[in-house]
Amino acid sequence: MTIQEALDITDEMKPNMMSRMLKLKYLTEIEQLIHDEILMHHEHAEEEETKPVYTEQTDAGTVLIVPDPYSQVYTFYLMSKIDVQNQEDARYSIDRAHFENAYETMSDWWTRNHMPIQKTREFRL
């Protein structure tokens, strides 16, 4: 899923007045969470060490970290943020539950398919 696809799907599923800039901020937020909590704890390429940051100048075709079919984590996250902005507590609870389920499913998949980093300790004798 690309940045533009995440924004388009979110807008289609939940029409809103949230600015593109704020949606990009929230996409950065969830990408950095995934980066720190999941990606950095598994084997990864050196170029993946840098945390993603998305702005208006970022290419809308940039591919996000999580592949399909697990990429719905982005749309549920954005939808829950829209609910907060609109002060829709009941909808927030539902969208947040969908997000947490999608995040857990994605995290489980990632862990099954990527070798965890093995931390070793050096001992001095």
- Local confidence band at 4 (pLDDT 50, 70, 90 cut-offs): very high
Torsion of CA 61, 64, 66, 70, to 10 degrees: -50
pLDDT for 31 beyond 80:
yes
Q: Which pLDDT score, from 0 to 100, does residue 37 have?
A: 84
Q: Is residue 43 part of a domain?
A: yes
Q: Which pLDDT score, from 0 to 100, does residue 117 have?
A: 64
Task: Give the pLDDT confidence of 70-100 residue by residue, as tens digits.
Answer: 999 999 999 999 999 999 999 999 999 999 9
End-to-end CA distance of the chain: 51
The structural domain count of the chain equals 1
Q: Which pLDDT score, from 0 to 100, does residue 68 have?
A: 92
Q: Which pLDDT score, from 0 to 100, does residue 36 have?
A: 84
Q: Return d(Cα 117, Cα 95) in angstroms, integer.
A: 32
pTM above 0.75, yes or no: yes
Angle between helices 89-113 and 72-85 (to 10 degrees): 160
- Residue 13's nearest CA partner among 88, 86, 89, 72 is 72
Nearby residues of 12 by Cβ (< 8 Å), 6 or more positions away: none
Partners of 63 in beta bridges: 2
Q: Is residue 81 part of a domain?
A: yes
Q: Is residue 47 part of a domain?
A: yes
Q: Is residue 55 part of a domain?
A: yes
Q: Is residue 125 part of a domain?
A: no
Q: Which pLDDT score, from 0 to 100, does residue 83 have?
A: 97
- Token readout for 10 is 């979110």
* Domain ranges, residue 106: 3-113
Q: Is residue 46 part of a domain?
A: yes
Percent of the chain topping pLDDT 70? 85
